[in-house]
């Protein structure tokens, strides 16, 4: 269920407008797969007026709100009720069906043609396989669209008819999130609901046509930045992306209400990291998220815990040395 317009790669910062990557083969610097960028002494600098940068900055606040809904926080902790997971997949099925229908309908539109990747990205068929796994045969007759999902679907259909360029906002928000945090959620869900290691029920998170999610996301952002859009249209796309987050939060809220009377059938399954026994507080992803969100008390508690253990003191020293080296490299 994850959605994101922020960069989630460990080497990238959503608050930065400049990135450095080195191509070992030819020594050239690249960013976002090429894109609408400028080169300054071997360093690729993204302009603040690039659509990818405008989206990252413009959706930062609403993105954080979406990640802090109870539904998402429970998901990350491994508190997943199977019934809610199934209903979440139903909402995604209707949403992606509408979005991909409109993308297909407008695939030759000048603002969408460069972002048309049906083999790599489209999720409708994958969601259908998941729903068949959860509901068995005849699943189509067992599902229905919820009120919040219906509002989301109607908005996608409306802009597909009237303003196809705004579909960029919905495609970017959904697909980039699926390729980023969605991969974390896949591991959480598989462990929490004890789903088969062969991937049944989790096809939504599996992108067989993409070999490197990081490289593909860079390509996608590059293609977006190359679109010939005026400033007004770019701003409308940012506003539409904010609306997309709001629609998703409405769906999360709906699922929270449905889940209140349900029993906690699975409560033990944050991602496995060594012998963490499902404790999400020990997950590096969760720790980084808490630190990044300004959780100073959380950081202090973690530091005290580490310093009480001799091996933790050695590990902390190694981390400080590594961070110092990284800082020195970046400032060179």
- 10-residue averages of pLDDT along the chain (332 residues): 48 30 32 41 68 95 92 89 95 98 98 97 98 96 97 98 98 93 87 92 95 95 96 97 97 93 55 38 37 43 48 47 43 40
The domain ranges of the chain are 37-259, 280-331
Q: Which residues, including other chains, have CB under 8 Å from residue 207's CB and lie 6 or more apart?
A: 120, 121, 178, 179, 213
pLDDT at 261: 84
pLDDT at 2: 55
pLDDT at 271: 47
Tell me the residue length of the chain. 332
pLDDT at 88: 96
Beta carbons within 10 angstroms of residue 24's beta carbon:
6
- Answer yes or no: are the C-beta atoms of 134 and 204 closer than 8 Å: no
Residue identified by tokens 């973690």 is: 302
Architecture field, domain 37-259:
Up-down Bundle (1.20)
pLDDT at 181: 80
Beta carbons within 10 angstroms of residue 186's beta carbon:
20
Distance separating alpha carbons of residues 271 and 282, to the nearest angstrom: 10
Distance separating alpha carbons of residues 288 and 304, to the nearest angstrom: 17
Query: At 184, is the secondary structure helix, strand, or coil?
Result: helix
Model pTM score: 0.70
* Side-chain half-sphere exposure of 150, counting CA atoms within 13 A: 4
């Amino acid at each position: 269920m994850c959605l994101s317009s922020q960069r989630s790669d460990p080497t990238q910062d959503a608050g930065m407008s400049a990135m450095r990557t080195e191509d070992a083969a030819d020594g050239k610097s690249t960013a976002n797969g090429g894109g609408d960028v400028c080169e300054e002494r071997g360093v690729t600098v993204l302009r603040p007026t690039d659509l990818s940068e405008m989206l990252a900055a413009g959706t930062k606040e609403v993105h954080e709100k979406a990640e802090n809904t109870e539904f998402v926080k429970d998901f990350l902790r491994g508190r997943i009720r199977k019934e809610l997971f199934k209903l979440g997949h139903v909402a995604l099925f209707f949403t992606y069906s509408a979005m991909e229908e409109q993308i297909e309908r407008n695939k030759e539109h000048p603002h969408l043609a460069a972002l048309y990747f049906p083999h790599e990205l489209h999720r409708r068929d994958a969601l259908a396989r998941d729903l068949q796994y959860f509901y068995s045969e005849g699943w189509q007759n067992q599902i229905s669209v919820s009120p919040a999902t219906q509002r989301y679907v109607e908005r996608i259909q409306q802009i597909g008819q009237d303003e196809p360029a705004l579909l960029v906002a919905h495609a970017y928000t959904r697909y980039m999130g699926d390729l980023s945090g969605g991969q974390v959620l896949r591991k959480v869900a598989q462990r929490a609901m004890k789903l088969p290691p062969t991937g049944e029920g989790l096809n939504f998170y599996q992108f067989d046509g993409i070999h490197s999610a990081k490289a593909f996301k860079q390509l996608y952002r590059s293609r977006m930045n190359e679109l010939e859009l005026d400033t007004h249209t770019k701003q409308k796309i940012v506003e539409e992306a904010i609306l997309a987050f709001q629609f998703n939060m409405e769906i999360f809220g709906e699922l929270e209400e449905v889940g209140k009377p349900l029993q906690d059938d699975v409560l033990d399954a944050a991602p496995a990291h060594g012998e963490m026994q499902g404790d999400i507080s020990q997950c590096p992803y969760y720790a980084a998220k808490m630190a990044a969100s300004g959780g100073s008390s959380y950081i202090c508690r973690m530091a005290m815990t580490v310093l009480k253990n001799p091996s933790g003191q050695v590990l902390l020293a190694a981390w400080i040395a590594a961070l110092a080296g990284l800082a020195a490299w970046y400032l060179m």
